[in-house]
Amino acid sequence: MIVVMQHGATRENAERVAQLIREMGLKDHIIEGTHRFVIAAIGDDRFLDKGAIENVEGVERIVPILAPYKVASKEVQAEPSLVPLGGRRGGVVGGPKVAVIAGPCSVESREQILEVASAVSEAGAVALRGGAFKPRTSPYQFQGLGEKGLEYLAEARERTGLAIVTEVMSIEQVDVVARYADVFQIGTRNMHNFNLLCACGEAGKPVLLKRGWSATLEEFLLAAEYIIHAGNKQVILCERGIRTFETYVRNTLALGVIPAIKRESHLPIVVDPSQGTGHAYMVPAMCRAAIAAGADGLIIEVHPDPQHALTDGAQSITPQVLHQTIAEVEKIAAAVGRSL
Amino acid sequence: MIVVMQHGATRENAERVAQLIREMGLKDHIIEGTHRFVIAAIGDDRFLDKGAIENVEGVERIVPILAPYKVASKEVQAEPSLVPLGGRRGGVVGGPKVAVIAGPCSVESREQILEVASAVSEAGAVALRGGAFKPRTSPYQFQGLGEKGLEYLAEARERTGLAIVTEVMSIEQVDVVARYADVFQIGTRNMHNFNLLCACGEAGKPVLLKRGWSATLEEFLLAAEYIIHAGNKQVILCERGIRTFETYVRNTLALGVIPAIKRESHLPIVVDPSQGTGHAYMVPAMCRAAIAAGADGLIIEVHPDPQHALTDGAQSITPQVLHQTIAEVEKIAAAVGRSL
Amino acid sequence: MIVVMQHGATRENAERVAQLIREMGLKDHIIEGTHRFVIAAIGDDRFLDKGAIENVEGVERIVPILAPYKVASKEVQAEPSLVPLGGRRGGVVGGPKVAVIAGPCSVESREQILEVASAVSEAGAVALRGGAFKPRTSPYQFQGLGEKGLEYLAEARERTGLAIVTEVMSIEQVDVVARYADVFQIGTRNMHNFNLLCACGEAGKPVLLKRGWSATLEEFLLAAEYIIHAGNKQVILCERGIRTFETYVRNTLALGVIPAIKRESHLPIVVDPSQGTGHAYMVPAMCRAAIAAGADGLIIEVHPDPQHALTDGAQSITPQVLHQTIAEVEKIAAAVGRSL
Amino acid sequence: MIVVMQHGATRENAERVAQLIREMGLKDHIIEGTHRFVIAAIGDDRFLDKGAIENVEGVERIVPILAPYKVASKEVQAEPSLVPLGGRRGGVVGGPKVAVIAGPCSVESREQILEVASAVSEAGAVALRGGAFKPRTSPYQFQGLGEKGLEYLAEARERTGLAIVTEVMSIEQVDVVARYADVFQIGTRNMHNFNLLCACGEAGKPVLLKRGWSATLEEFLLAAEYIIHAGNKQVILCERGIRTFETYVRNTLALGVIPAIKRESHLPIVVDPSQGTGHAYMVPAMCRAAIAAGADGLIIEVHPDPQHALTDGAQSITPQVLHQTIAEVEKIAAAVGRSL
């Protein structure tokens, strides 16, 4: 870390900072600039709480130098991680092939999920998404079919060979979801639910971790770090749009995160263009853009009858649109040297 | 809801929307404007998923009319709710008296918490805050003392009479926290953890619900709605700053939320100026501003030795500063017709 | 517009709103819902100040129905506008061909701009960008070469045939810039400078209008509306990133704006991946993503020696990287049925 | 500045950075940490473009140490600046007295402005605000009365003794506004209009500078720096709300900026609770909060008949409400040791 002193701070102030740095087991190094003192702390301080130093008289601010994540970073592993999705399709995220995960926001009925599964399978997806436990902003909204929904998903896998990606909302659900699903999805609202991150880490299944809608890149990678730290390296990051002042979209899809993650981390990253925009008409364009930017896959909301979808109808595309979108994505993938 | 059609949409498009509205059990009413069709849906649609209608050809957007919350709103209860905090001080949030809750970010040791409790008690607080279970962005940071921390808090209550406010991070912790604490705190990262909201609602203790750092007013009240809906009306809202582009603060304290909540809801609201700014030097000014704006109380981070605090040192004030701040707040409270 | 009344508002309140609506020359239509009154105003109210109605007792909020822009919208012109850039390359923005505009942030010297012009010309660009008047956050920073810079740009056009795109910062500069440039650039900080928008509109040259870094879609199109309203239909919109809480980028590139603009407006849109990220390493990925999403062109910062650039060095790519990026973009363009 | 190298960067990379630092006329100082190199640049680099260094291989990021503003900072002047407003009331901003500036958004007619002037004068204001040149998002909206409006303002001053605060939107308006007004207002949309800042700086009248709705604290002070640098020290800063994801307000009033400015700068700061919220019902609470937080004054929109205001009706309070609000503010001022 670097501690920047205020203009006018004294050498005694700087010495006090140096002393606290030494108390932390680090080496201090005071630099007297032309305008102010700066103190460098040498050593691994990434896991220390550095803010306390801000209370020393004359301190202006603390500048961390080391990224606070470790096992999620390229420092520890330079080559990209590959995460197999399970199912009979052999889908892998992070390799040369672009993985398409598709399906409804919610499992609404056996018929619905089997119909979608069959459609997305034909369209070229390698995994089926669908929520059995639904995090809903209002207590009065449809909360999902629960274990019954998981059974339907398993049946859909049986029939199509698609891997099953489904959300787990709390620790109590980990066991039951693990019995049916191939990949745990941790939703945007739970990215900071550290107890759940640990529990999913311990469960050992691949985890698709959605970025919190206001999470920084650092917080996103630290959430992955929690899972890896709990013993599970199979983490797939997912950009799904952030909250900004924009109103023509439900979320602002921040595709710049893709090259940033590729620079910082070995973990694969997929994009959710449905949550990431909130409008079905934008989904095909954002699928193409995501793959062009280097994403390792897509997770797309598809519903056979979006006008009657119980959840997220506005952003669900039909199987027909999915078909055409995947054809477009295939061309983009080829243009960047990848395939589906 | 109002459904706004695109320029150029046909009457057939509007009729299709009207049909979906009727399928929802609502009454439709088509208005042909000079430039486009608008369809009003009459009836209580607040718990329906309306987005699906966006998929009808020619629809531009859906405008909800009714607020999606109910039991948290003034429609159901016009007079303000009073929430007693417990402890021997008789603190109540929501009445004419302004309640001050103060204490360290984390319980670090028996000595520390007893010292702070004694200091904040003398300064005029009615409740002691302090985390035993700590949500931390990094898995390597101090995670709290757990049940041992709760024991120390209970001992502090015994000695001072202060009510105990402490965070509960997951459902598994609800029982143990309930054994020691007077008020459950739900942190900003868990405001959207709906399973936890329900579990806290069922536990029956007062809940201090922090606004998610990117939660809208509506989402904030819906989180309260989850708790009330689970059977617990004793909810204290807490504004603690939102995430914006600003960098000189850790969060942007949005005090406009106070008159907005007072207009929309019967629930009391307190302000956390410590999280709400991230810097100790701003805390006194923001305490004064919050009470001047009409807040029902404050929750302030206080540490006897902020330079050595294990967590949140940068934003913790000392007991001395608390003393002076409370004196200032008392004058502001008097200026708005309240007292401490 | 729709006026939504509060729960509990009376029919008298609604009648008062209706009266104000009639005073505005509109037709009123009161709808009595099951929970509250809603009043529709029928007629073209897009140019009226509707907020005043919020002051009537019992009004909750005003919902505008008509978009406030007109000549920039598809209502007035359904087919896309084509904007020729000038110069001898025949570049046109908005047609089947993707236009690449490239060059340094600032014109620094005759040698520099001639060198870059030659390089970007060879790489396949149709226009040269370069600032002679520079809007700088600090009064102590390099403010541009002024008219001398414009002369160098004109010489570069002479040699290469590239059209010249350069920023105009204030009305006094309009005449001198018009003497040398082919396309006026209005920078992000001036998108809301309405006097400048009008002056550029009157000058008659094509205008590349950068989105304000916090402008909504509506404000962006209204800025274009100012230019068109002043008599100039040759407007090129430019997405250049918005200000959000993200810190790993200088701005968050919001590519969802591309399908949104294509739906709302006939104007072409290009993307600035340099300002839109702030980091050279992200530029190639964002160039590809922009074209994949449907952008009509790119405006890229290129410098022969970014380590010594006077401005925006961090986000400038070298001519070599431009060469390779254009090759990649060409493949993406082909994948979406376009060419360079 | 501090240059942080990537993990794995070599000593050669660090040496290249050191060389560029020396080329800038600064002293370099390489620190070899346990995990990476960090290079400190010693000397005054606040006016250099440092981003270019980011292009050196192995550089992770640049951390500026010195604030980029100088004459606006406390480094140059420790004691607070006092800015007299003009008029016969002797209002001064920045001293022990809190200054209230009030008046309509726009000057709409002679009668309207004289009526408001008389009312705000009686209520205790020291200055009258009112726009004659109006920056409007749409070209079709009321654009102000121009010079005629300025004449009415001057007449209002004649009658009441109130100082006149009015907006100047472009350089061409500086002369005419200077003939009538006491204080130039630079609006939020023009905070980054550097040419206008300079022109107002040269004109010599006090300037009320509104914070851009997405401006950082640093950019805000740099805008003031432009004015001071042009020769005019009479700058009044004005917080007027920032753009965030919140929708129940037009802008999020960021009162934390007050203690931050008081720490960084000698310039006075006032608050605009009207623009800062967008709703009349929130204005009194935010007036009280602003003064409690330490603001030096208020600028409030007041209209005798908000239901018929031509602009900003939704956020204008009536003279009656102003009267009561000033009485409340007076009590708050007393509580923080100030007066009106």
Predicted pLDDT of residue C323: 98
Predicted pLDDT of residue B58: 95
Chain C closest-CA separation from residue B65 CA (Å) = 7
Predicted pLDDT of residue C51: 86
CA dihedral D272, D277, D281, D283 (to 10 degrees): -20
Which residues fall within 8 angstroms of residue C124, CB to CB, at 6 or more apart?
C100, C326, C330, C340
| Closest Cα in chain D to C139 | D226
The CA-based diameter of chain B, rounded to the nearest angstrom, is 74
| Closest Cα in chain B to A318 | B55
Predicted pLDDT of residue B170: 93
| Superfamily grouping for domain C83-335 | Aldolase class I (3.20.20.70)
Per-chain mean pLDDT for chain D: 95
**Residue written as tokens 């203009």?**
A7
CB contact under 8 A, D307 and C53: yes
Please state the pTM of the whole predicted model. 0.96
Q: Is A260 exposed, middle or buried (0-12, 13-18, 19+ CB in 10 A)?
A: buried
Residue A191 near residue A209, CB atoms below 8 Å: yes
Cα–Cα dist D210/B233, whole Å: 43
| pLDDT confidence bin for C48, thresholds 50/70/90 | confident
CB contact under 8 A, A243 and D245: yes
Among A7, A63, A245, beta carbon nearest to D245:
A245
| Closest Cα in chain A to C243 | A244
| pLDDT confidence bin for B270, thresholds 50/70/90 | very high
Check whether B47 has a pLDDT greater than 80: no
Q: Is D247 exposed, middle or buried (0-12, 13-18, 19+ CB in 10 A)?
A: exposed
Predicted pLDDT of residue C136: 87
- Mean pLDDT along residues D228-245: 97
Check whether C43 has a pLDDT greater than 80: yes
Residues of D in contact with B252 (CB under 8 A): 242, 244, 252, 254, 256
Cα–Cα dist A127/A125, whole Å: 6
| Closest Cα in chain D to B329 | D335
- Mean pLDDT along residues A129-152: 93
Q: Is C166 exposed, middle or buried (0-12, 13-18, 19+ CB in 10 A)?
A: buried
Cα–Cα dist A101/D146, whole Å: 60
Residues of B in contact with C59 (CB under 8 A): none
Which residues fall within 8 angstroms of residue C215, CB to CB, at 6 or more apart?
C191, C192, C223, C242
| Superfamily grouping for domain C2-63 | Phospho-2-dehydro-3-deoxyheptonate aldolase; domain 1 (3.30.70.1140)
Chain D closest-CA separation from residue C227 CA (Å) = 9
CB contact under 8 A, B292 and D294: no
Predicted pLDDT of residue D49: 80
Residue D21 near residue D41, CB atoms below 8 Å: yes
For residue D251, what are the CA distances in angstroms to A258, B291, D243? 31, 21, 5
Q: Sheet containing A37-42: which strands, arranged edge to edge?
A: A27-32, A37-42, A2-5, A59-63
The CA-based diameter of chain D, rounded to the nearest angstrom, is 74
CB contact under 8 A, C31 and B36: no
Give the pairing type, strands C2-5 and C59-63.
antiparallel
Check whether B202 has a pLDDT greater than 80: yes
Residues of A in contact with B313 (CB under 8 A): 49, 51-55
Residues of A in contact with C246 (CB under 8 A): 216-217, 242, 254, 256
Tokens of A231: 């013993």
Residues of D in contact with B257 (CB under 8 A): 248
Cα–Cα dist D267/D93, whole Å: 9
CB contact under 8 A, D55 and C214: no
Q: What is the pLDDT of residues D87-111, one digit of tens each?
A: 999 999 999 999 999 999 999 999 9
| pLDDT confidence bin for B45, thresholds 50/70/90 | confident
Among A53, A170, A313, beta carbon nearest to B55:
A313
Per-chain mean pLDDT for chain A: 95
Helix axes of B257-264 and B217-229: crossing angle, nearest 10 degrees: 50
Q: Which residues of A30-64 are buried (b: 16+ CB within 10 A; e: fewer)?
A: bbebebbbbbbbbbebbebbbbbbbbbebbbbbbb
What value does the CA radius of gyration of chain C take, rounded to a whole number of Å? 23
Among A252, A259, A289, beta carbon nearest to C293:
A289
Check whether D138 has a pLDDT greater than 90: no
Q: What is the pLDDT of residues D151-198, one digit of tens each?
A: 999 999 999 999 999 999 999 999 999 999 999 999 999 999 999 999
Q: What is the pLDDT of residues B230-258, one digit of tens each?
A: 999 999 999 999 999 999 999 999 999 99
Predicted pLDDT of residue C59: 95
| pLDDT confidence bin for C66, thresholds 50/70/90 | confident
Cα–Cα dist B39/B119, whole Å: 61
Chain B closest-CA separation from residue C151 CA (Å) = 39
What is the SS3 string spanning chain D? CEEEECCCCCHHHHHHHHHHHHHCCCEEEEEECCCCEEEEEECCCCCCCCHHHHHCCCEEEEECCCCCCCCCECCCCCCCCCEEEECCCCEEECCCECEEEEECCECCCHHHHHHHHHHHHHHCCCEEECECCCCCCCCCCCCCCCHHHHHHHHHHHHHHCCEEEEECCCHHHHHHHHHHCCEEEECHHHCCCHHHHHHHHHHCCCEEEECCCCCCHHHHHHHHHHHHHCCCCCEEEEECCECCCCCCCCCECECCHHHHHHHHECCCEEECCCCCCCCHHHHHHHHHHHHHCCCCEEEEEECCCHHHCCCCHHHCECHHHHHHHHHHHHHHHHHCCCEC
Tokens of A339: 């395939």
For residue A328, what are the CA distances in angstroms to A321, B228, C71, C296, C332? 11, 48, 33, 18, 11
Predicted pLDDT of residue B66: 87
Check whether A47 has a pLDDT greater than 80: no
Residues of A in contact with B254 (CB under 8 A): none
The rounded percent of chain C whose pLDDT value lies above 70 is 100
> Which candidate, A209, A215, A188, A263, places its Cα nearest to that of A83?
A209
- Mean pLDDT along residues C226-252: 97
Q: What is the DSSP letter of A6?
A: P
Predicted pLDDT of residue C137: 86
Mutation to test the B interface, candidates C65, C217, C246, most B Cβ within 10 Å: C65
Tokens of A285: 């364009």
Predicted pLDDT of residue C142: 87
Mutation to test the D interface, candidates A65, A74, A76, A249, most D Cβ within 10 Å: A65
Q: How many CB atoms lie within 10 A of CB A5?
A: 26
| pLDDT confidence bin for B150, thresholds 50/70/90 | very high
Cα–Cα dist A162/B42, whole Å: 43
Check whether D148 has a pLDDT greater than 80: yes
What value does the CA radius of gyration of chain A take, rounded to a whole number of Å? 23
For residue A161, what are the CA distances in angstroms to A153, A182, A183, B151, C59? 11, 11, 14, 52, 56
Residues of B in contact with A313 (CB under 8 A): 49, 51-55
Q: What is the pLDDT of residues D30-68, one digit of tens each?
A: 999 888 999 999 998 887 888 889 989 999 999 998 888
Residues of B in contact with D242 (CB under 8 A): 244-246, 252
Predicted pLDDT of residue D74: 93
CA dihedral C223, C224, C226, C230 (to 10 degrees): 160
Cα–Cα dist D233/D93, whole Å: 13
The rounded percent of chain B whose pLDDT value lies above 70 is 100
Q: Which of C59-68, C194-203, C231-240 has the lowest mean pLDDT?
A: C59-68
| pLDDT confidence bin for A240, thresholds 50/70/90 | very high
Predicted pLDDT of residue B51: 86
**Beta strand extents in B64-186 (DSSP E only):** 83-86, 91-93, 99-103, 127-129, 163-167, 183-186
Q: Domain ranges in chain D?
A: 2-63, 83-335
Check whether B118 has a pLDDT greater than 90: yes
Q: What is the pLDDT of residues A154-187, one digit of tens each?
A: 999 999 999 999 999 999 999 999 999 999 999 9
Q: What is the pLDDT of residues A263-286, one digit of tens each?
A: 999 999 999 999 999 999 999 999
Residue A176 near residue B173, CB atoms below 8 Å: no
The rounded percent of chain D whose pLDDT value lies above 90 is 89
Cα–Cα dist C125/B6, whole Å: 38
